[in-house]
Structure 1
């Protein structure tokens, strides 16, 4: 098998990159060892969040948010995107002080998409929030999408432009032969001019095959969803200093996250739940929304996610090989950035350059420099 570009990993980053390349006439082949959106891109909370981003991510995230607002029309599919706004709740005055400090930094850089809201506005927008909460920060642009639907919308759009996806196909090895990469897979050898590593929690292994070492770790963030409840919360909800990710869907179910992690067994390709941490996440949800004491949990799960030490992703070219690129390590907040990362990777593959400053996302940012 042959292709101009071989993408390793069928999450939202890999599928968006495949779409952006295929629509520009590039022959693309995506290998996924399980199935599309099997891990982080299919089982995350679906937050489409610009608020609270690391300052290095804001330019990318802003562009990605613009793309989300027209993505259904572009991909000719339902991604489940809903622009409901997102509120990070301030539980006390220390949280308000932290928000004021962040707002000063944001304004100095010309960013105005986050604004601080008062206790009264918080109560107006979230009538069932605990009355002791003192305010918060809000981004009107934010919302949520359905991860599995959004990832597969990119996949189907890429296929319409000629991309090929091989599920159940594991990468076993990579060799650079002349001007091409030879990939050994469970379905035979694949020859490609360019490799793009979007392998998520397994991306450090692919990077090592390419020749780049990276301090990637992996974990299993957990989520819970309730049975249907009367509608009480329209915006997506987070918290300034507590582990809370909270949204009520249009059908009344409530998704609860916040970063509590289960047990990740990458070698066995599976996760296990930590019920003590899930119980604490439930208590946190009740503290912020007492109505949640009446909720019945319908399902709980965890996905495998890749983390970098600074919680920033790797986006950019390989440093020890030609015609190889990386997009991984999104540290449980990469779903929203999928659309723009696909464009950035396609630009890098085709032109060697990007419209964005990617220096904060270099794969070698942890390498010791020799003076």
Structure 2
């Protein structure tokens, strides 16, 4: 099978890249070893946030947030996006000091979308919050989407433009012959002028096939969802210094995250839950919101996610091979950036450059520099 571009990985980054390339008239094949959105992109918490981003990510995240506002209309499919705001709660004065330092840094860089709130506004926006909490920070632009819906929306929009998505196809080998990339899958062989590595927790393997080495690790961030409860929290909720993250959906269920990790078995394509950490996450949630003590957990799960040592993703051309590109290692906060990352990769593939500074996301940023 032949195409102009071969994308390895059918998560939101891969599907968004397929969409943006297809919009430019590029023929695209996406190969996914399981099914589109099977791992991190389909089972994450769905946070669409600017709040608390690393400074290196802010320009990309801001551009992506603008895209989210009208993404359903652009793609012609429902992503589940809701702009609800996001509040990170300050539990004590130490948290407020952290927020003040962050605010000064953001203002110095010219960013004003994060706003500190005092105890009175915190209680006004979140009436059920623990009385001892002293304030927080809010981003009004933030919200959430439904991960599998959003990934599927990009996939369907890409297919409508002629892209092919092939599921159940693992790339076993990849080599460049002349001006062509040759990939051998578990069922088919592929030829493409360009290859894009969006393979998530398996991206280091694809990077090695391309010729690039990367210190990627993987883990299994866990989530749980409650039975329906009376509505009590419209904003998405986090905390400044504690593992707290939850959102209440329109049907009353509450999704609880916070970053606790289970056991990742990449070799066998599965995860296992750590119930002690899930119990700790429940206690933290109930500490901040005492009404959650009555919540009933309905389901728990974990996804396989790729992590970089500095928690920043890899978004760049390959270092050691021509016409190869990477986008992976989003370290459990890449979902929101999916729309813009797809556009950036399409620009790199078709024009060789991006309007964004991608130097913080180079794949070789951990390589030892020879003096």
| Same fold per superposition (TM over 0.5) | yes
> What SS does structure 1 have at the residue aligned with 2:20?
helix
Q: Which residue of 1 aligns with 2:57?
A: 57
Q: Which residue of 2 aligns with 1:159?
A: 159
Q: 1:99-138 counterparts in 2 under 5 A?
A: 99-138=99-138
Q: Which residue of 1 aligns with 2:286?
A: 286
Q: Which residue of 1 aligns with 2:277?
A: 277
> What SS does structure 1 have at the residue aligned with 2:120?
helix
> What SS does structure 2 have at the residue aligned with 1:214?
coil
Q: Which residue of 2 aligns with 1:68?
A: 68
2: distance between equivalents of 1:294 and 1:173?
A: 52
User: What is the TM-score normalised by the length of structure 2?
Assistant: 1.00
2: distance between equivalents of 1:288 and 1:64?
A: 30
Q: Which residue of 2 aligns with 1:262?
A: 262
2: distance between equivalents of 1:265 and 1:82?
A: 33
Q: Are 1:232 and 2:232 counterparts?
A: yes
Q: Which residue of 2 aligns with 1:192?
A: 192
1:132 to partner: Cα distance: 0.3
1:238 to partner: Cα distance: 0.4
1:188 to partner: Cα distance: 1.8
Q: Which residue of 1 aligns with 2:328?
A: 328
1:187 to partner: Cα distance: 1.7
Deviations, residues 74-101 of structure 1 (Å, cap 9, x unaligned): 0011100000000000000000000000
Q: Which residue of 2 aligns with 1:39?
A: 39
1: distance between equivalents of 2:227 and 2:234?
A: 17
Q: Which residue of 2 aligns with 1:295?
A: 295
Deviations, residues 257-310 of structure 1 (Å, cap 9, x unaligned): 000000000000000000000000000000000000000000000000000000
2: distance between equivalents of 1:188 and 1:120?
A: 61
> What SS does structure 1 have at the residue aligned with 2:215?
coil
2: distance between equivalents of 1:199 and 1:291?
A: 40
Deviations, residues 116-155 of structure 1 (Å, cap 9, x unaligned): 0000000000000001000000000000000000000000
2: distance between equivalents of 1:306 and 1:53?
A: 18
User: What is the TM-score normalised by the length of structure 1?
Assistant: 1.00
2: distance between equivalents of 1:332 and 1:142?
A: 17
> What SS does structure 2 have at the residue aligned with 1:250?
coil
2: distance between equivalents of 1:271 and 1:113?
A: 37
Q: Which residue of 1 aligns with 2:183?
A: 183
> What SS does structure 2 have at the residue aligned with 1:340?
helix
Gaps of 5+ in 2: none
Q: Which residue of 2 aligns with 1:98?
A: 98
> What SS does structure 2 have at the residue aligned with 1:206?
helix
Gaps of 5+ in 1: none
1:23 to partner: Cα distance: 1.0
What do you get for the CA RMSD once the two structures are aligned? 0.3
2: distance between equivalents of 1:250 and 1:361?
A: 36
Q: Which residue of 1 aligns with 2:83?
A: 83
2: distance between equivalents of 1:188 and 1:137?
A: 51
1: distance between equivalents of 2:127 and 2:269?
A: 42
1: distance between equivalents of 2:288 and 2:257?
A: 13
1:185 to partner: Cα distance: 0.3
Q: 1:236-251 counterparts in 2 under 5 A?
A: 236-251=236-251
1:343 to partner: Cα distance: 0.3
1:165 to partner: Cα distance: 0.3
